[in-house]
Structure 1
Amino acid sequence: MLSYLHGFHAGNFADVQKHGALSLVLSMMQSKASGIACFDTHAGSALYDLHSERARKTAEADSGIQRVWQARASLTSPDWQPLLDILAQCNQGQDGLVNYPGSPAWFRQCLRPQDDLTAFELHPAEGEHLAQWAGSGRLRVIRQDGLAGLLRHLPPRQPRLLVLIDPSYEVKTEYQEVARTLEKAWQKCRHGVYLIWYPILASGAHEALTSAVKTGGVHKVLTSEVRLRKPPERGMTGSGLLVVNPPWGFDTRFTAMLNDVAGDQVLNLSHHMDWLVPE
């Protein structure tokens, strides 16, 4: 479970979907002034070097965020702009995209004075990098299991909640564990917004998560799935997100964002969105 390093996959097509959704949800939630308690259960490192040996070994960003960046002038949805602005800030003085922000960086770039972030990371090296980057302030780094840690910190003191659950799923039992944690978290804070990422695999292993959520007690669960039109022989064939309590209008706006990049000139994928569990 501690062998996974996101540096090999940073900026891939799944990150585009996941961080696009995260930036949109944050923007929509921050249209209201009340504070938001943000939790990142599997935070990883804050920044990734897309020119590093790890990143170049897989070169997944080349067919992911790099293509979105190259196509940015043709993107029609205005909801891409916050994401593009953060990428530009992280790459000031660079020739193109060199640095890619991990989820803690996406969160921190958007935090207002009334918001805060708790980031969990169990991997020793990743946790050390994250803690050094975070420094002091409203970003709290906790080096422990994020699923158990999340439950210990709920309900939050702020009136609103946003949670990103993004494990590696290296261990097959994580699918069921995530489903159980989601239900327990939702019982503690039913008004919270929860984003749960999962890989779509040819084996269908991800269906253990979606089936458990569908038959569980959580209500108002939207699912967004993107699938590569030319999937690899091994690895992910797509990427999925469960969005619990999505802000009103999120489905329409996020679909518009993904429609911008679904064509063969950008990410060459298909997108399907539907209610896994209605309200």
Structure 2
Amino acid sequence: MLSYLHAYHAGNIADVQKHAALSLTLSMMQAKPSAIACFDTHAGRGLYDLQDERARKTAEADSGIQRVWAVRNTLVSDDWQHFLQPLEALNRGGSELRYYPGSPRWFCHWKRAQDALTLFELHSNENDQLHRKVPVPDVRICHEDGLKGLLRSLPPAAPRLLVLMDPSYEIRSDYADTARTLARAWRQCRHGVYLVWYPILLDGGHQVLLDRVAEGQAGPVIRHELRLQSPPERGMIGSGMLVLNPPWQWQHRLEAMLAPVCGADMLASTQQWDWLVPE
């Protein structure tokens, strides 16, 4: 329990998908001036050094964000330019991508004065690092279980809500717990936008999450998946996002955004989406 450290996986293909989805959602929601209460249930340490020995041990960023960074000058859409802003801010003065933001730093980069941000992290050392690596003073950081903490925080005072839920799923019960939390959170705040990341594994463990959400206790829900074209014999073969109450046209914009980087010489993946819970 609590053995998972994202430093080994920072900047991999799952992070590209997750943070592209988060970047796009924030951009679309912030088109309106009203305040957003943002919650990150599994914040991690907030910032990762891709030259750190843990990152280099797996080198997952080499086949993920580093490939996107290498062609960044060709990614001219507004959605890509929005995505690249936090990376460029952290890696000024050179062509090398060394520092990669965890989801708290993506939230912090775009946080407006009227928005609120709450970060949950249960792992003690990661929580300590989070306090050091979050640059925005008016951010609430909680050393606790993010799923339980989220439910205690809803509904928020702000008129709108954005939640990112991305457990490590190192415990099998995380799949059912996440689905259960999503349903309860939706009942407490039905107008909120909820992003749920999950790994696609050979053992099919993620199917528990999908089945529970598809039962229809919360909706509407879009499912977006990236699947590796040449999956490994073990471990993660893809990455998925569920979006409850997606902004209008969100799925088409994410699909168009990721299309240029999904080829065999880039992320080597295919993308697909559908309505897990219909509108």
Conservation of the 8 A alpha-carbon contact between 2:108 and 2:136: no
Conservation of the 8 A alpha-carbon contact between 1:77 and 1:260: no
CA distance in structure 2 between the aligned counterparts of 1:179 and 1:270, rounded to whole angstroms: 25
Conservation of the 8 A alpha-carbon contact between 1:134 and 1:141: no
Q: Which residue of 2 aligns with 1:212?
A: 212
Q: Which residue of 1 aligns with 2:175?
A: 175
* 1:151 correspondence with 2:151: yes
Correspondences of 1:1-279 after superposition (within 5 Å): 1-134=1-134, 137-279=137-279
Conservation of the 8 A alpha-carbon contact between 1:79 and 1:257: yes
2:214 alignment partner AA: K
CA distance in structure 2 between the aligned counterparts of 1:46 and 1:20, rounded to whole angstroms: 16
Conservation of the 8 A alpha-carbon contact between 2:47 and 2:105: yes
1:195 alignment partner AA: L
TM-score by length of 1: 0.98
RMSD: 1.1
Alpha-carbon offset, residue 94 of structure 1: 4.2
Percent of paired sites with the same residue: 59
1:124 alignment partner AA: S
2:177 alignment partner, SS class: helix
1:254 alignment partner AA: L
5+ residue gaps, structure 1, are none
TM-score by length of 2: 0.98
2:224 alignment partner AA: S
Conservation of the 8 A alpha-carbon contact between 2:105 and 2:134: no
Alpha-carbon offset, residue 131 of structure 1: 1.1
- Runs (4 or more) in structure 1 with deviation over 3 Å come to none
2:129 alignment partner AA: H
For each residue in 1:208-242, what CA deviation from the matched residue of structure 2 results, as whole angstroms up to 9, or x when unmatched? Answer: 00000001310110000000001111110000000
CA distance in structure 2 between the aligned counterparts of 1:244 and 1:274, rounded to whole angstroms: 12
The alignment covers a number of residue pairs equal to: 279
Alpha-carbon offset, residue 95 of structure 1: 4.4
1:34 alignment partner, SS class: coil
5+ residue gaps, structure 2, are none
1:140 alignment partner AA: R
CA distance in structure 2 between the aligned counterparts of 1:108 and 1:135, rounded to whole angstroms: 7
Conservation of the 8 A alpha-carbon contact between 2:224 and 2:274: yes
2:256 alignment partner AA: A
CA distance in structure 1 between the aligned counterparts of 2:53 and 2:26, rounded to whole angstroms: 32
2:87 alignment partner AA: L
CA distance in structure 2 between the aligned counterparts of 1:257 and 1:96, rounded to whole angstroms: 23
